[in-house]
Chains A and B, each alone.
Chain A
């Protein structure tokens, strides 16, 4: 397992940080979060033309850059820090990873290059209104119809599902249960019979949609009935990625709280000179650094396809969820009244922390997965 970044990786991070500070200041976040789409296509194209970020972990054979999950983790940490409004998690992390894991060689050659260059934004529709993060929640059905399939059912909590060009859908053979009979399918975003409704999300910087399928024609992705394993792998890799995104946001909050404590004067002195504030900041640093270590371990395990990955990814997701949320709570507390206002930026990250705490499974769920992975 890798416990430090190479100088190339550090350099990549600092380039990325400067780029995102420039392209995604809080004013840009606030502008995009008020739109229904939630992101801007011109900015997305710009991001991918300049840095090729959408392609980062996609293999070179499919038009990607062929980097590992460590580099992807760096990208996500920086995006979480900048709270970038872009369909990156939906398209590159979830959909592209699912296609890499499940697709046939021909399908990967067909689908991935457009996702890698950013011209196609994809989304992964797996969760349903029941809100379960594993296959037990999948009720949408796929019925074979003359070499293609017809999808029926409702998907929910689909990140960027209302704006994606391509939807990767997890559905099951009618009558099947659990891990059996599951397959991935691809559907164009504007397919006939597909009704997409943006959900009213608490975190407006990451949009979600409800997708209703009524006899929608779909193409099979990968092996019919064989989606359980690639889906499980995708979820584990995505949890590792989300943990990295979350620790980036947590660190940004921690630093903003520190800056504010050093500026704000009460009782004739900066509040940062009070020991209660200093100790709170020390505790916040411990929380964030420990969660970062777990997130880095998960990215490294994903890069090496370590058999321990399922355990480490769940551990990292749980750790990042707790640390991000606790840091968000403390950051508002340190800001006092102004931290509760709409004009102060803290709530933007607070809401991302709350949404991410639950997204892909809450800490309690991941702790249970960890216990199962370690055979307790």
Chain B
């Protein structure tokens, strides 16, 4: 194989796009051409739709796509995590069945990990998978499942053995969401949105060939999914960016994004909307109030410091330096920023902070900030779990004493699920 350099890759992808990219394709039609060419997921292995391109050169390909406005493979949502997980752990038959349709956007996915009884303690899942004849039968309940109501397939973590310690009794399945044993109910949040679902399994069925890796090795597979989820967390903001072009393919892409991104529309408010603070203070006529000025300055100091810390982490990563402490603090720092921002927005809005919807400040945006911020310090690892991770992995302090790892899962105290 010839050596891949930035220049050679750029030239190659540019030539391919010039020869192939057209805006009058259907979205799926174009993506299948892209998948066959290897330019859809160029860092993937050549056996599976890729070109084994070094990860560092992905940006070159992205730039060339952006330059001509070419649409890429389906990126947004859980399908991306499904594809990455199956690429790593799936059987050839699973890869054959699922990878292409995930990349083309034909299949949508959801992640069935969290349960009412196991949040931070994900490995404490109690949803049961029992082998009955030539089927796995699933019973139990999952929660916080984004997009479950329109997902075709689910990534399911379920318990296959209660007589071994908790991490060893889990298995990982691909479950068909379109079956009578799967019921999806929206879960309404305190901010009024229902971006997540509860999923109930009553004798739902999974084919034996849809077990991923081996029985009892589900935790290892789930860890892969979670690693990709953390890696993609920063990407959520870019997911929903559609091209602004005109033509059939762009219309179809916009429609896809609108559906996938619907659950995420309040996420900017969850992060606190620091960007609105100065404009709001001026509009409310309180920008000369010394208390307000102090509070805004505190918030901006925190936010800029957190942003510069992230820049330090990225700069170190680009230089190939080992990750320093600055790389592990982002999640916790962003909780602090969001909470501080909610306080400042309240201070600025005064009595209007009691109102919501069209009676509220900025047509309800400020109210949505105030009732969305509490989610940020919980979702994706609570502040408390983050502090455990920082103190144990970064600072090398003693691990929490555990009483649940050295005995059969059946003997571990659990929540009463009502």
Interface residues of A (CB under 8 A from B): 3-4, 258, 261-262, 270, 272-273, 275, 277-279, 281-283, 285-286, 289-294, 296-297, 315, 318-319, 364, 367-368, 370-371, 374, 376
Contact = CB atoms under 8 A, between A and B. Distances in A.
B332 interface: yes
A368 B333 CA distance: 23
Given A4-B319, A279-B384, A367-B298, A293 B312 contact: yes
Which 6 pairs, one residue from A and one from B, show the smallest C-beta to C-beta distance?
A367-B297, A278-B391, A293-B308, A290-B305, A4-B315, A282-B387
Contact of B332 (A262, A281, A282, A292): A282
A81 to B, nearest CB: 16
A165 to B, nearest CB: 38
Interface bracket on B: 35 or more
A4 B326 contact: no
B392 A278 contact: yes
A294 B306 CA distance: 9
B293 A281 contact: no
A319 B296 CA distance: 13
Given A258-B397, A289-B326, A290-B302, 5 more contacts: A272-B398, A279-B384, A315-B297, A371-B293, A376-B282
Q: Could you tell me the dominant secondary structure of chain A's interface residues?
A: helix
Given A279-B391, A364-B294, A371-B293, A290 B309 contact: yes
Given A319-B301, A370-B297, A370-B300, A279 B308 contact: no
A235 B231 CA distance: 42
Contacts of B388: 275, 278-279, 282
A170 B401 CA distance: 61
B390 A297 contact: no
Contact of A315 (B301, B314, B400): B301
A376 B308 contact: no
A318 B296 CA distance: 13
A309 B297 CA distance: 16
Contacts of A289: 309, 325-326, 329
B186 to A, nearest CB: 35
B301 A370 contact: yes
Given A367-B294, A370-B300, A285 B394 contact: yes
Contacts of A261: 397
Contacts of B416: none
B304 interface: yes
24 contacts: A4-B316, A258-B395, A262-B397, A270-B398, A272-B397, A273-B397, A273-B401, A278-B391, A278-B395, A278-B398, A279-B384, A279-B388, A281-B390, A281-B397, A285-B329, A290-B333, A292-B326, A293-B305, A293-B326, A367-B297, A368-B293, A370-B297, A374-B278, A376-B278
Nearest to B389: A282
A297 B316 CA distance: 15
B268 to A, nearest CB: 22
Contacts of A258: 395, 397
B265 interface: no
B336 interface: yes
Interface of B: 278, 281-282, 287, 290, 293-294, 296-298, 300-302, 304-306, 308-309, 311-312, 314-316, 319, 321, 325-326, 329, 332-333, 336, 384, 386-388, 390-392, 394-395, 397-398, 400-401
Contacts of B336: 286
A289 B311 CA distance: 12
B386 to A, nearest CB: 7
Nearest to A323: B305
Contacts, number: 119
B282 to A, nearest CB: 8
A291 B397 contact: no
B14 to A, nearest CB: 31
A207 B394 CA distance: 37
A195 to B, nearest CB: 38
Given A294-B304, A368-B294, A285 B395 contact: yes
Contact of A278 (B296, B300, B397): B397
B301 A294 contact: yes
A277 B282 CA distance: 42
Contact of A367 (B281, B293, B309): B293
Nearest to A2: B315
Nearest to A368: B293
A4 to B, nearest CB: 4
A315 B294 contact: no
Given A319-B301, A370-B300, A273 B398 contact: yes
Contact of B387 (A270, A283, A315, A364): A283
Contacts of B316: 4
Given A272-B397, A367-B298, A290 B287 contact: no
Contacts of B326: 289, 292-293
A278 B278 CA distance: 36
A357 B294 CA distance: 16
A261 B397 CA distance: 9
Contacts of A281: 390-391, 395, 397
Given A285-B325, A289-B325, A367-B297, A278 B387 contact: yes
Contacts of A285: 325, 329, 390, 394-395
B62 to A, nearest CB: 22
A112 B409 CA distance: 74
Contacts of A367: 293-294, 297-298, 301
Contacts of B297: 315, 318, 367-368, 370-371
A376 B387 contact: no
